[in-house]
């Protein structure tokens, strides 16, 4: 049997970031991934570090603020291990916000047709999650973290002071198990079915037209437009996203993609004929209050969750790794985590 201090399920950005943080603190770490690393929501994400999106639940703010403050050190640690630079892609977002003082969009972006929207300037950054994922994976692989792709968790049980995790091929043992499987957490941790549900988002990337020099994000409640300005995807513009309850279905529908492109073109008419480079769909892990689940299950102190990050997994990865490592090592968490405790979900109290 393989034993480590910590066994993490899920090699998305949350699981790998936590693995790296625990390893940095001197622990032995195993990561089990049912599929390939970074193949799901982390790959599909837009990458906006949208800590002040008015659509976020108010209770998310301290976690979002902590994560933003940790981002530079988080990236520096990944870059130093991977030797791969992960730059911020944008530094400004125009956010539709009817009640605030409007930004001078004419001078900022003359091509923008605001229509009925009033936009405010947010000093908000974005990142390319695929570039981040590549560097994060390289960082993890440069360490002694044991990463097992294509190894789904089948069952978890407490045995004395340890947790035993059964997969299709082997049994793993650890002092703590942390479920970071996003939309799959209810299944892999055997939780009531509605605890974390997949919420589908269809998206597309188009080629940035030469008539549209775009170096900022535009966001309304219906649509966001994110230019990639550097790295392998420079010159691409990501447009998203639908929000759908369709279970684990990730089918991309041309009619929905056309609707997204046409909504983007209402704001930036040059995008109407932009060449589509890629279409895809991802599954956001949603909880009933749209806040993540961070901490131990009510009656299972060695079985923790770090899942349910909904639309903000890329933003929240550094704070999640930091807080979970603090909880696991009995440090006082940097912020009050009561709002994120799994025990707040009534259905988990009897698990």
Kindly tell me the number of DSSP H helices and DSSP E strands found in the chain: 8, 17
CB of 217 to ligand GLY, least distance (A): 11
200 binds ligand GLY, rule: CB under 6 A: no
CB of 214 to ligand GLY, least distance (A): 18
- Out of 12, 133, 209, 240, name the contact with ligand GLY by CB under 6 A: 240
CB of 105 to ligand GLY, least distance (A): 22
- Report d(CA 228, CA 62) in Å as an integer: 28
- Out of 122, 241, 274, 323, name the contact with ligand GLY by CB under 6 A: 241
DSSP state of 101: P
Binding to ligand GLY (CB under 6 A) within 136-175 occurs at: none
Q: Which residue is nearest to ligand GLY (CB)?
A: 311
Binding to ligand GLY (CB under 6 A) within 78-97 occurs at: none
CB of 155 to ligand GLY, least distance (A): 31
- Report d(CA 92, CA 112) in Å as an integer: 15
- Out of 15, 198, 201, 292, name the contact with ligand GLY by CB under 6 A: 201
DSSP states of 120-177: EEE---EE-HHHHHHHHHHHHHTSS-EEESS--EEEEEEETTEEEEEESS-EEEEEEE
Residues binding ligand GLY: number (CB under 6 A)? 7
Inter-helix orientation angle 13-24/313-328, to 10°:
40
311 binds ligand GLY, rule: CB under 6 A: yes
> Does the N-terminal peptide bond of residue 328 adopt cis geometry, omega within 30 degrees of 0?
no
Torsion of CA 30, 32, 37, 42, to 10 degrees: -100
- Report d(CA 36, CA 38) in Å as an integer: 6
45 binds ligand GLY, rule: CB under 6 A: yes
CB of 70 to ligand GLY, least distance (A): 19
CB atoms within 10 A of CB 72: 11
125 binds ligand GLY, rule: CB under 6 A: no
Count Cβ neighbours within 10 Å for each residue of 114-145 and write b for 16 or more, e otherwise.
beebebbbbebbbbbbbbbbbbbbebbeeeeb
292 binds ligand GLY, rule: CB under 6 A: no
- Out of 10, 12, 37, 46, name the contact with ligand GLY by CB under 6 A: 46
Q: Of 226 and 265, which has the nearer Cβ to ligand GLY?
A: 226
CB of 46 to ligand GLY, least distance (A): 4
CB of 66 to ligand GLY, least distance (A): 18
Q: Under the rule (CB under 6 A), what is the footprint of ligand GLY?
A: 45-46, 201, 240-241, 284, 311
């Amino acid at each position: 049997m393989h034993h480590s201090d910590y066994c993490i399920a899920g090699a998305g950005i949350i699981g790998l970031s936590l693995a790296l943080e625990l390893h940095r603190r001197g622990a032995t770490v195993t990561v089990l991934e049912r599929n390939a690393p970074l193949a799901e929501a982390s790959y599909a994400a837009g990458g906006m570090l949208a800590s002040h999106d008015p659509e976020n639940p108010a209770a998310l703010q301290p976690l979002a603020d902590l994560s933003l403050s940790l981002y530079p050190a988080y990236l520096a640690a990944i870059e130093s291990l991977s030797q791969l630079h992960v730059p911020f892609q944008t530094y400004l977002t125009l956010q539709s916000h009817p009640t605030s003082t409007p930004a001078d969009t004419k001078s900022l972006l003359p091509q923008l047709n605001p229509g009925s929207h009033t936009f405010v300037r947010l000093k908000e950054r974005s990142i390319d999650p695929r570039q981040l994922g590549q560097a994060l994976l390289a960082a993890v692989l440069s360490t002694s973290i044991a990463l097992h792709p294509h190894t789904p968790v089948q069952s978890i049980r407490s045995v004395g002071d340890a947790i035993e995790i059964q997969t299709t091929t082997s049994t793993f043992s650890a002092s703590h198990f942390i479920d970071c499987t996003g939309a799959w957490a209810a299944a892999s941790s055997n939780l009531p079915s509605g605890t974390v549900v997949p919420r589908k988002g269809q998206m597309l990337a188009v080629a940035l037209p030469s008539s549209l020099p775009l170096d900022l994000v535009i966001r309304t409640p219906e649509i966001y437009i994110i230019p990639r300005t550097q790295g392998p995807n420079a010159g691409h513009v990501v447009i998203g996203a639908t929000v759908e309850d369709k279970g684990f279905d990730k089918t991309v529908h041309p009619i929905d993609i056309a609707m997204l492109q046409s909504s983007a073109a209402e704001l930036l008419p040059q995008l109407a004929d932009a060449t589509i480079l890629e279409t895809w769909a991802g599954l956001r892990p949603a909880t009933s209050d749209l806040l993540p689940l961070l901490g131990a299950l009510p009656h299972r102190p060695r079985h923790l969750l770090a899942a349910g990050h909904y639309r903000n997994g890329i933003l929240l990865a550094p704070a999640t790794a930091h807080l979970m490592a603090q909880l696991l090592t009995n440090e006082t968490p940097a912020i009050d985590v009561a709002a994120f405790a799994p025990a707040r979900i009534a259905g988990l109290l009897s698990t």
